[in-house]
A and B are shown apart, each in its own frame.
Chain A
Amino acid sequence: GQNIDQPTEMTATEGAIVQINCTYQTSGFNGLFWYQQHAGEAPTFLSYNVLDGLEEKGRFSSFLSRSKGYSYLLLKELQMKDSASYLCAVRGDTDKLIFGTGTRLQVFP
């Protein structure tokens, strides 16, 4: 079967660094996406990885290891507005996106 696993909830302190992990088992692999979703709002695109390694975009970075079926999203210099759900999604060989349940991150002052 196809499966995406990520922690349900995480907490962190303002100004800190947090790493949200995602492991996947899918039929084929054509890229991994991270989305941010604030409560009651649309998921918004954060990052895309298709090759192994780290993609950096400002305070956010995303890492991929295809051999391990593993990715993480790294958030630096956390701000209160980063409190949201973070969705990991993998495009398999059918080109459909398969989503994890999301990680709800709470940032405290």
Chain B
Amino acid sequence: ETGVTQTPRHLVMGMTNKKSLKCEQHLGHNAMYWYKQSAKKPLELMFVYSLEERVENNSVPSRFSPECPNSSHLFLHLHTLQPEDSALYLCASSQVGGGHETQYFGPGTRLLVL
């Protein structure tokens, strides 16, 4: 148990669907992250929220829309996705300004877009 939870763990959606991924951290951290992990590719940073402000948007298509209502919760809203968006979506959190700022990851949501 890393203190970061994600739901759902698995999601299958059509290209016209709208769905949301949820992440919750129980570590008292002040920064949260969304990453995309595709087979045989490095983890790709998508979004960073620090103190509930979005500080990074790594050229992610607008069909991905993040939301951070408070420092413990992070959402990723999905709409009109493409099959190439199928991947493992990982959430992480860290304490910015607190030493080496290790990021702790959730178990991920395995997304399949049909």
Contacts and interface: CB of A to CB of B under 8 A. Distances in A.
A11 interface: no
A45 B43 CA distance: 15
Interface stretch (B59-67, B79-87, B103-111): B103-111
Main secondary structure of the interface of B (DSSP, over half): loop
A43 B105 contact: yes
A42 B107 contact: yes
A31 B108 contact: no
A33 B102 contact: yes
A100 B4 contact: no
B90 interface: yes
B112 to A, nearest CB: 14
Give the interface residue-count category, chain A.
20 to 34
Nearest to B94: A97
A68 interface: no
B53 interface: no
A40 B102 CA distance: 21
10 contacts: A8-B40, A31-B100, A42-B90, A42-B105, A42-B107, A43-B43, A44-B105, A96-B48, A97-B103, A101-B41
